[in-house]
Amino acid sequence: MKLICLFALVIATSALRIQKLAASKKDYDFKAEKEAVIAELDQRFDGYREHCYPLPGDGCRCQETENGAKVSKEYKSDLECKTDEKRQRLCEDKQCNKEFKSINRCQTKEKCGQDKWAPYESCLKECMKIRPLPSNK
């Protein structure tokens, strides 16, 4: 009799465990998870140049044509992987923020004057440079 009761107890606890697993799968929101992953990928790929792919962490690898041959180049920061327009906006927001604020209201070199415009241009020029990492070959 004790053996039958023990067997019934094992079956009952197994059934409860299976029900809990089934319930947890139902409660898991796959759609929200999928949307979060897509949003993260969109943010990461936003403004990338054509044929550029992110590397784990920071940076990217780009397929470029050099002297008629396709070569793969790596860049150490995501900023260097972006298109010119996106890279300029990121430079204005981050590295050249102070210089950009000083010319933001006047908008043109003629209205601002060379004394305000020159620091902005030099900062932007330095920020917009693309420096590929040395080749591993």
User: What does the alpha-carbon distance between residue 33 and residue 5 come to, in Å, rounded to a whole number?
Assistant: 43
- Mapped onto helix, strand or coil, the DSSP state of residue 74 is strand
Query: Does residue 131 or residue 82 have the better pLDDT?
Result: 82
Query: Does residue 4 or residue 58 have the better pLDDT?
Result: 58
Taking a C-beta distance cutoff of 8 angstroms, is the pair 112, 52 a contact? no
* Residue 71: its H or E element: strand 69-75
Taking a C-beta distance cutoff of 8 angstroms, is the pair 129, 88 a contact? no
Mean pLDDT value of segment 104-115: 78
For the cut 50, the answer to whether the pLDDT of residue 72 exceeds it is: yes
Model confidence at 9, pLDDT cuts 50, 70, 90, reads very low
Taking a C-beta distance cutoff of 8 angstroms, is the pair 54, 60 a contact? yes
Q: Enter the pTM of the model.
A: 0.52
Q: What is the pLDDT of residues 74-109, one digit of tens each?
A: 988 888 888 888 888 888 888 888 888 878 777 777
How confident is the model at residue 70, as a pLDDT? 92
On average, the pLDDT of the chain sits at 77
Closest among 121, 125, 85 to 103, alpha carbons compared: 121
Query: Does residue 10 or residue 130 have the better pLDDT?
Result: 130
How confident is the model at residue 18, as a pLDDT? 58
What is the per-residue DSSP string for 3-67? HHHHHHHHHHHHHHHHHHHHHHHHHS-HHHHHHHHHHHHHHHHTTBPTTEEEPSSS-EEEEEEET
